[in-house]
Structure 1
Amino acid sequence: MPAMHFHVRWPDDSTSKCYSPSSTITEFLEAGKSYPLDEFVAVSRTALHKASDRVRMKYGYMCSSAMDQLAQIETTAERFRGVADARVVVESITS
């Protein structure tokens, strides 16, 4: 189960290197694509829960790192709530 990183650019041009314990992130996010803020958070939530579930199926426990990453995404996204047309760009996805 290859760990992946997805690099995102937030509405203020800051960047984050995000972690997924599974390649399932590529089923949900596309490199080079811009997402409305709320959609990015929702898609990341779904993807990271699925990735964590894959870890649970293989090892018998959820992936706390995936849940920590989701919390960081949600916290960062809160800074941009209320910003008109706030978008997040997935710059790359790497293994």
Structure 2
Amino acid sequence: MPEMRFTVRWPDGAVESCYSPSLVIREHMAAGESYPVGDFLERSRTALNIASERVRAKYGFACSSALDQLARIETRARRFSATADARVAVLSFEE
């Protein structure tokens, strides 16, 4: 199963490399785009849950790395929930 990393810049300027066990993330966000934090969070939830389920279908168990990444994204996103115009930029995808 092809895995990938996607690099994002949070509203505070911090850059983070994120993990996905599947290329499905590309179907839910695009490099060079920025998304309101809530939208980015929903896109991440959808894509990483699909990725985890693809691992389950192939290997018989969910991908804990995808779910851990989602938890880190959810934790970080909470910091910006009160900022109405906060956006997350997707900088790149690396396979």
4+ runs of 1 displaced by more than 3 Å?
none
Q: RMSD of the TM alignment (CA)?
A: 0.6
Deviation readout 1:15-65 (Å, 9 max, x if unpaired): 110000001111111001000000000000000000001000000000000
Count residues with an aligned counterpart. 95
2:31 aligned partner, one-letter code: A
Query: Quick one: percent identity of the two aligned structures?
Result: 59
Q: How does 1:47-62 map to 2 (within 5 A)?
A: 47-62=47-62
Query: Structure 1 length as normaliser, TM-score?
Result: 0.98
Query: Structure 2 length as normaliser, TM-score?
Result: 0.98
Q: Which runs of 5+ in 2 are unaligned?
A: none
- Tell me the secondary structure at the aligned position of residue 67 of structure 2: helix
- Tell me the secondary structure at the aligned position of residue 16 of structure 2: strand
Residue 75 of structure 1 corresponds to: 75
1:25 and 2:22 correspond: no
1:73 aligned partner, one-letter code: I
